Amino acid sequence: MPVLALLDGTIADPTQPLIRVDDLGLMRGDGIFETVLVVDGKPRELGPHFDRLVRSAAMLDMPEPSRADFDRATQAVLDNWTGGSEIALKWVYTRGIEGGDGTPTGFALGLEISETVQRQRATGIAAITLDRGFDSDVAQRAPWLLLGAKTLSYAVNMAALREAARRGAEEVIFTTPDGFVLEGPTSTLIAVYGKTLRTPPATIGILPGTTQAALFRAAEREGWSVKTEPVRVSELAEADGLFFASSVRKITRLHTLDGTALPDSTAVHSELTRLYDSEY
Amino acid sequence: MPVLALLDGTIADPTQPLIRVDDLGLMRGDGIFETVLVVDGKPRELGPHFDRLVRSAAMLDMPEPSRADFDRATQAVLDNWTGGSEIALKWVYTRGIEGGDGTPTGFALGLEISETVQRQRATGIAAITLDRGFDSDVAQRAPWLLLGAKTLSYAVNMAALREAARRGAEEVIFTTPDGFVLEGPTSTLIAVYGKTLRTPPATIGILPGTTQAALFRAAEREGWSVKTEPVRVSELAEADGLFFASSVRKITRLHTLDGTALPDSTAVHSELTRLYDSEY
C-alpha cells in the first residue's frame, strides 16, 4: 500500500483526493519533484536529492523548500511503511493554489518499486534515441526553458516513452539536433569505455544525476576515470556498455539501441552494480 | 465564486480537494485542457475547442474525450454560475490515476475573468521575444515533443511569463532559433500589415488558435486578406499592429516590444475588435 505524508508529518489516505483543481501543479504542471530510493528503511542520497529540489525551486522562482518539512514527511512515510524492502519515495512541491497566498503544496508519497523496474534492473532494456529538439547550447542562453529543473511538466518525457513502446523498446536516450547525448526521460545516461565512465554535463540542458554521482564517487575511489563531458551520439556505438542510472532503476543495462543488439555488457554491469552498492 | 462540475454533471466545491496525489495530471503534467470563453451564458467556439481537445488527446494517446461529457459539465457550470457576464471555462482531462484502469480524470471549472486580463484587453500590453529553443521544422519530425498539443505541462510557459515580468513586460512572443515567430505562452500572435492579417501556421509547432480563427473568418468576410504562414521575427517591427488572441484575452494589443514602443495601433485594434465581436 502506498503511504502518503503531508509536510507537517500527518499521514493521509492516498486513495482519497488531496489536491484542489486550481492547484498550479495540476493546472500548469507548475511544480517540482524528486524521487528518493529507500532501502531497508534508509533513504539514499537524501542530501543531493534535497539540494536538487532547492535548485529546481530556485529555477522556478518558487519559495525555498524546507528541509525540516521534507525530513518530517519522509520519516512519517518510513514509520508507516508496511511494504517491501525498497520504497520509491516521491517528494512533490507545487506552486500552490492559483491566485492564492503563494504557499506551495507539498507531500511525500512512498510507493512500491514496480515489477517492470525490477525486471529491467535484472535483464536490461532496449532503448531508442529520440531528438529532444534543443541544441546543446540552449540551456545556457535560455534559462526560462527550465532545462535542468525537475518539474512536474513531464508530458513530453511520457510521450517519448510511448514512442519507444511503439518501436518495441522501453526507454529513450534524448539527443540534441546537433548530435549530442542528453539523458533518459527519467534517468541519467552513463557510457563506459574501458575503465572510463562518461556522462553528459548538466550545462547541456539535463538534470545532474544523484545516482550517477554516487556511482562516479565509488568508481573514482577504485581507480576508474570518471568524466562529466559531452558525449556524441556517434560515440554510443563504440561504448563497452551503456547504462541508465536513476534512484529507482539503480544501474540498468541497455542491451539494445535503436533495434541493434549492443555488445554484451553483463560483466561491466555487475562491476558497476558492485561499485554502486559499495556506497551504501 | 468559481464553479466546478464533474463530467457526470455533478457540481463540486472547488475549495475542497478533488484530485488524488497519484493522478498523472499532477505527477507528470500528463493531460490536456482547453479554456472556453462564455459571454452572457453563451460559450464561444465550443466546436473548435472540443475538436482541439480531441486532437490533443490523440497526440497524447489518450482516450478520446466525450463531447456529451464536456457538454454536460459545461451546462452544469453555466446553470450554477452567479458571477459576472463572462466566464473563463476550463476543461481539464488527465490520464487518470497512475497504475489505474486508464480512466481519465475530467472536469470543467468556471472562473471569473481576472482584473489583469480585463486591464490588458483595454490598455494593451508590453511583450518581449524569447527563444523557445525549437527550430521551425522540429514539430514535423519529432511528434513526441507534443508541439501543438495543449497539455497541462505548462511550466515553461509560466517561466517565460516570469521572465517577461523581470524585464518589465507582461507577455512573451516565443521565437525559434532560426528566426521565426511562434506564439505567446497562452495565446496566438497576429501581425497586421495594411489590410492583411498574418499568423504562423500550426506546422511550425504551435497551437492553432480558436480566437484567431474566428477573427480571420470575420476579417475575410469583410474583404481582408488573411494568411496563415511563417512570420519572421524581423518582420514584427514592420507591422502596423501586433495582437495576442486567446479566448479570455480576446484581441489584446501590444504597445511595446522588447522595450521599444510600437506604432500606435489603437485604430487597428478597434477594427479587429469590431470584426471579432461580429462573429457573436
At the second CATH level, the architecture of B118-278 is Alpha-Beta Barrel (3.20)
Spatial contact of B261 and B255, defined as CB atoms under 8 Å apart = yes
pLDDT at B187: 98
User: One digit per residue, pLDDT tens: chain A, 280 residues?
Assistant: 899 999 999 999 999 999 999 999 999 999 999 999 999 999 999 999 999 999 999 999 999 999 999 999 999 999 999 999 999 999 999 999 999 999 999 999 999 999 999 999 999 999 999 999 999 999 999 999 999 999 999 999 999 999 999 999 999 999 999 999 999 999 999 999 999 999 999 999 999 999 999 999 999 999 999 999 999 999 999 999 999 999 999 999 999 999 999 999 999 999 999 999 999 9
Give the residue from B144, B152, B172 with the most A CB atoms within 10 Å of its CB, the best one to mutate: B144
pLDDT at B26: 98
At the second CATH level, the architecture of A118-277 is Alpha-Beta Barrel (3.20)
- Which candidate from A20, A29, A145 shows the least CB-CB separation from B17? A20
Domain boundaries, chain B: 3-113, 118-278
Chain B residues with beta carbon closer than 8 angstroms to that of A176: none
- Which candidate from B4, B60, B107 shows the least CB-CB separation from A155? B60
- Which candidate from B30, B130, B133 shows the least CB-CB separation from A134? B133
DSSP string of A135-165, one letter each residue = -TTHHHH-GGG-TTS-BS--HHHHHHHHHHH
At the second CATH level, the architecture of A3-113 is 2-Layer Sandwich (3.30)
Q: What are phi and psi of B83, to 5 degrees?
A: -90, -150
Q: Do A155 and B27 count as a contact with CB atoms less than 8 A apart?
A: no
Write down the mean pLDDT value for chain B.
Answer: 98
Start-to-end Cα distance in chain B: 26
- For residue B165, the distance in angstroms to the closest alpha carbon of chain A comes to 12
pLDDT at A263: 95
Q: Do A133 and B131 count as a contact with CB atoms less than 8 A apart?
A: no
- Which candidate from B20, B130, B134 shows the least CB-CB separation from A17? B20
- pLDDT for B22-50, tens place per residue? 999 999 999 999 999 999 999 999 999 99
pLDDT at A129: 98
Chain B residues with beta carbon closer than 8 angstroms to that of A22: 2, 14, 109
- For residue B197, the distance in angstroms to the closest alpha carbon of chain A comes to 29
Q: Do A30 and B160 count as a contact with CB atoms less than 8 A apart?
A: no
- pLDDT for B134-174, tens place per residue? 999 999 999 999 999 999 999 999 999 999 999 999 999 99
Q: Do A155 and B17 count as a contact with CB atoms less than 8 A apart?
A: no
- ipTM tops the 0.90 cut: yes
Q: How far apart are CA A96 and CA A146, in angstroms?
A: 19
pLDDT at B241: 98
- Which candidate from B21, B59, B61 shows the least CB-CB separation from A4? B21
pLDDT at B190: 98
Q: How far apart are CA B223 and CA B107, in angstroms?
A: 40
Grid cell digits, residue A197: 565512465
pLDDT at B130: 98
- Which candidate from A28, A114, A135 shows the least CB-CB separation from B152? A28
Chain B residues with beta carbon closer than 8 angstroms to that of A151: 29, 153, 155
- For residue A154, the distance in angstroms to the closest alpha carbon of chain B comes to 5
- For residue B222, the distance in angstroms to the closest alpha carbon of chain A comes to 38
DSSP B71: H
pLDDT at B35: 98
Q: Do B152 and A154 count as a contact with CB atoms less than 8 A apart?
A: no
- Which candidate from B28, B133, B145 shows the least CB-CB separation from A158? B28
For chain B, what percent of residues have pLDDT higher than 90?
A: 100
Nearest residue of A to residue B16, measured between CA atoms: A20
pLDDT at A123: 96
Q: How far apart are CA A162 and CA A172, in angstroms?
A: 10
Q: Do A145 and B135 count as a contact with CB atoms less than 8 A apart?
A: no
Nearest residue of B to residue A99, measured between CA atoms: B114
Amino acid found at A100: G
pLDDT at A258: 98
- pLDDT for B73-120, tens place per residue? 999 999 999 999 999 999 999 999 999 999 999 999 999 999 999 999
Amino acid found at A261: A
Nearest residue of A to residue B105, measured between CA atoms: A21
Return the number of CB contacts < 8 Å for A and B: 183
Spatial contact of A69 and A186, defined as CB atoms under 8 Å apart = no
pLDDT at B63: 98
Instruction: Single out the residue of B150, B244, B271 nearest to residue B189, CA to CA.
Output: B244
